[in-house]
Amino acid sequence: MKQFRFLLLISLSANLFSSPIPKPPDLGVGSYILYEPTTETVIASFNENESVEVASLTKLMTSYVVADQIKQGYISMEDEPTISIKAWQTPGSQMFVREGTKVKVSDLVKGMVIISGNDASVALAEHIAGSEENFVYLMDQYAVDLGLINSDFNNSSGLPDPNNVSSALDLAKLTGAIIRDFPDHYQIYKEKEFSYSAPGEYVAPQPNRNRLLHLDDMFDGVKTGYTRAAGHCLVGSSIRDDMRLIAVVLGSGIDKRFADVRALVGYGYQYFKTREIVSSGDVIDSLSVIAGNQDSVSVGVDKSIVMTLKKNIDLEFQILAQERIVAPVVGGTTAGTLKIIDEDGNIINESELIFLEDVEKLGFFQYWFALIWDWIKSLFI
């Protein structure tokens, strides 16, 4: 068994103690979450794993599936599927397609994303999978792949159905996946209005249901939803100083949901920051080497460590490395473990420590002399 020893303990913060911060806003809603997608950090939450009906937020899953099907080449934005009677008769919010007409996928996507057209959702589902029922199977498979453990879908639009459920956490993860995997597709979410008119008709432009786009420039998406069972729901995403936050509020009020999301992201930007704690390839420390052509070897991490943390926080690094490092040393191989510990003594990150350079061993006689001398010294320690 390899022996490990404690080698280094340093504080990254200039503060002896970090400043306290207030509790997150008390929203009085069914559930909520404030989420940083790059580091997958939950900053604040309430009932975030509770599976509930989420109304038109269901369309986020439909949107993800559609975007991936386009990316994979199974369908094209230029396709013109024929609108079925089922899609035409779908109740609720609509982009007003007509049965038997051909509508471009690009228009259907905008109709679903910008004005929450249930008819557009069904038309897209049928174009991809032949039927909405088959499309729902795809939705659930994608949900599994994305790790959405609290979600189970039963339609593509979010129409009332007690078996069509998700959670605040799953919706935050799903939104993060849309932004990460399909950045061009995500740009549609910030468009403020959309108009579609069937042949021979005129329909005035409909505004994006997400009023955040009109209230604050830092918001660039994403989706509203409402049914009697779900209440008024909202997913909002914003970016400030290169830090993206996603807020999900479920079971709020028609106007209150917008204030709720703004309160959450305001709290996040005021007290938290996403930053690179350790850069890839940077020297964290140098460890002694026995019988090598140099006496020490630099160690660091292979991948940068990026975390979302309170702005003023004391961190400690602990490096656990082998008791005796004997040449030769191969750069890029494991040197030990780097642990990052917060002010409460919790390990918040644990990463592999690697050697950043090669160290060759000495010539035959010098090599064995160095080993014997190290053994003699160890007898007196």
DSSP per position, 122-190: HHHHHHHHSSHHHHHHHHHHHHHHTT-TT-B-S-SS--S-TT-EE-HHHHHHHHHHHHHH-HHHHGGGG
Q: Which two tokens stand for residue 321?
A: 């490395």
Q: Exactly one of 63, 116, 121, 151 is catalytic; name it.
A: 116
Amino acid type, 210? N
Is residue 56 part of the annotated active site? The answer reads yes
CB 31 within 8 A of CB 150: no
What residue numbers bound the domain in which 358 lies?
Answer: 4-16+277-378
Q: Based on the fold, state whether residues 291 and 151 are members of the same structural domain.
A: no
pLDDT in tens, 27-67: 999 999 999 999 999 999 999 999 999 999 999 999 999 99
Choice among 235-239, 317-321, 349-353 with the minimum mean pLDDT = 317-321
Counting the structural domains of the chain, the total is 2
CB 194 within 8 A of CB 110: yes
In a domain, 26, yes or no: no
Per DSSP, the chain holds a count of helices (H) and strands (E) of 10, 17
Q: Based on the fold, state whether residues 306 and 365 are members of the same structural domain.
A: yes
Q: Based on the fold, state whether residues 40 and 143 are members of the same structural domain.
A: yes
Q: How far apart are CA 206 and CA 192, in angstroms?
A: 9
pLDDT for residue 50: 98
Counting residues of the chain whose pLDDT is more than 70, the rounded percentage is 94
Predicted confidence band of residue 20 (pLDDT cuts 50, 70, 90): confident
pLDDT for residue 135: 99
Q: How far apart are CA 363 and CA 350, in angstroms?
A: 37
CA distances from 91 to 94, 120, 137, 195, 314 (A): 8, 11, 22, 19, 54
Q: Based on the fold, state whether residues 193 and 73 are members of the same structural domain.
A: yes
Is residue 84 part of the annotated active site? The answer reads no
CATH code of the domain covering residue 248: 3.40.710.10
CATH code of the domain covering residue 8: 2.60.410.10
Q: Which two tokens stand for residue 339?
A: 């642990």
In a domain, 263, yes or no: no
DSSP 31-78: EEEEEETTTTEEEEEESTT--EE-GGGGHHHHHHHHHHHHHTTSS-TT
Q: Exactly one of 45, 56, 93, 252 is catalytic; name it.
A: 56
Q: Which two tokens stand for residue 340?
A: 């990052």
CA 331 from centroid of its chain's CA atoms = 32
Q: How far apart are CA 203 and CA 224, in angstroms?
A: 22
Counting residues of the chain whose pLDDT is more than 90, the rounded percentage is 78
Q: Based on the fold, state whether residues 89 and 214 are members of the same structural domain.
A: yes
DSSP state of 302: S
Q: Based on the fold, state whether residues 179 and 206 are members of the same structural domain.
A: yes
Choice among 9-18, 269-278, 342-351, 365-374 with the minimum mean pLDDT = 9-18
Q: Give the residue from 100, 77, 117 showing the smallest Cα distance to 199.
A: 100
In a domain, 266, yes or no: no
CA distances from 162 to 103, 159, 203, 219, 248 (A): 31, 10, 33, 31, 20
Choice among 93-107, 137-151, 275-289 with the minimum mean pLDDT = 275-289
| pLDDT of 3 over the 50 cut | no
Q: Based on the fold, state whether residues 282 and 157 are members of the same structural domain.
A: no
In a domain, 267, yes or no: no
Q: Which two tokens stand for residue 150?
A: 């609290």
In a domain, 264, yes or no: no
Q: Based on the fold, state whether residues 11 and 53 are members of the same structural domain.
A: no
In a domain, 25, yes or no: no
Q: Based on the fold, state whether residues 325 and 196 are members of the same structural domain.
A: no
Q: Based on the fold, state whether residues 84 and 232 are members of the same structural domain.
A: yes
pLDDT for residue 381: 64
pLDDT for residue 14: 33
In a domain, 150, yes or no: yes
Q: Based on the fold, state whether residues 159 and 215 are members of the same structural domain.
A: yes
| For helices 59-71 and 118-129, angle between their N-to-C axes, nearest 10 degrees | 40
Q: How far apart are CA 265 and CA 349, in angstroms?
A: 24
**Upper half-sphere CA count for residue 107 (Cβ side, 13 Å):** 19
Q: Based on the fold, state whether residues 179 and 303 are members of the same structural domain.
A: no
| pLDDT of 11 over the 80 cut | no
Residue 237: CB atoms within 10 A of its CB come to 29
Q: Which two tokens stand for residue 131?
A: 């039927």
Q: What stretch of H or E contains 85?
A: helix 85-89
Is residue 116 part of the annotated active site? The answer reads yes
Last residue of a domain, one of 217, 252, 287: 252
The reply, when asked if residue 377 is annotated as ligand binding, is no
Q: Exactly one of 31, 59, 110, 252 is catalytic; name it.
A: 59
| pLDDT of 12 over the 90 cut | no
pLDDT for residue 18: 61
CA distances from 270 to 50, 89, 245, 266, 278 (A): 27, 47, 12, 6, 23
Backbone angles phi, psi at 15, to 5 degrees: -85, 140
In a domain, 44, yes or no: yes
Question: Mean of the pLDDT values across residues 185-214?
Answer: 92
